[in-house]
Amino acid sequence: MNSNYLVKAATLTIAATITQAFASGNHTGGIHTEPDQTGGIKPSFDIVHAKVTLQKNIATFHMGVAVNAGSVKPLPTGKLAGSDVFSYVWPTSLNSGVVGFEDNAGILALAVTAHPDFDDTPLYDENADNDTGNDGNVWHSHWVVLQPNEQCGKGALGVVDIPDGTTPKLPKTWPGLPILLDSPGWSPIFNDDTVEVKVAFDQSIDITETTYDGVTAGLRVNQSVHAPLLCVVDVMDIASGDLSLPGKVNH
């Protein structure tokens, strides 16, 4: 059978499944986008929907993909240098100071990540084996602060590095890496084609005017494990198409 026919048939099946999900109300509100028709995006990272809703002080970060959210993780390399990170990310307009970093340090984003070659959640035992240092391959959440970094590539983003000898303001759950990354312990929930994270904000913080986007991406640890430590090297999909943060909380 012709391979092009098989690809087309698979694409139509996925599209039909997504249409049924929307019809049943699984993906209401937020940012909607059509599934990839080219076969160039892995279906588990092909964003069809992203939204952030707020009830009292609990924000739910939601992302829908074509199929099987969270089913694909990086292959282990056996070392930190050059290792990969796969992620589901919600870039936001929130000030980085809201979660404990310095004010206006960059783009504050919530990320759900997996990476088999290192652990960056030293306070938590995600795989429940009584070892808090071997859980990197379990999907977990972070706050990250991103900025354009030419050392990561032309127009590419990187997680902001902490220069040697400096002591910036950091969240209490900062994992000790020399980058603006926090490990707050909010557990992601995967359910078929969706991933959600519930985040509790301080009652004094108003996020109702916050805007956001949805991104799936691969990051990589620098070969020299030095500044820049962690770069975005493969943007798989962007809900808005242009990172314009068109979504608004509860809209």
How many whole angstroms separate alpha carbon 249 and alpha carbon 208?
Answer: 6
How many whole angstroms separate alpha carbon 145 and alpha carbon 159?
Answer: 6
Mean of pLDDT values over 204-221: 97
pLDDT, tens digit (0-9, with 9 covering 90-100), for 236-250: 999 999 999 999 999
- Residue 86: what pLDDT? 98
- The single-letter DSSP state of residue 37 is S
Degrees to nearest 5, angle at CA 119 with 137 and 124: 95
Element (H, E) at 212: strand 211-212
Mean of pLDDT values over 111-134: 95
Q: What is the sign, positive or negative, of the torsion defined by CA atoms of 224, 228, 230, 232?
A: negative
How many whole angstroms separate alpha carbon 114 and alpha carbon 194?
Answer: 16
How many whole angstroms separate alpha carbon 141 and alpha carbon 94?
Answer: 17
Q: What are the domain boundaries of the chain?
A: 3-248
pLDDT, tens digit (0-9, with 9 covering 90-100), for 58-112: 999 999 999 999 999 999 999 999 999 999 999 999 999 999 999 999 999 999 9
Q: How many CB atoms lie within 10 A of CB 72?
A: 12
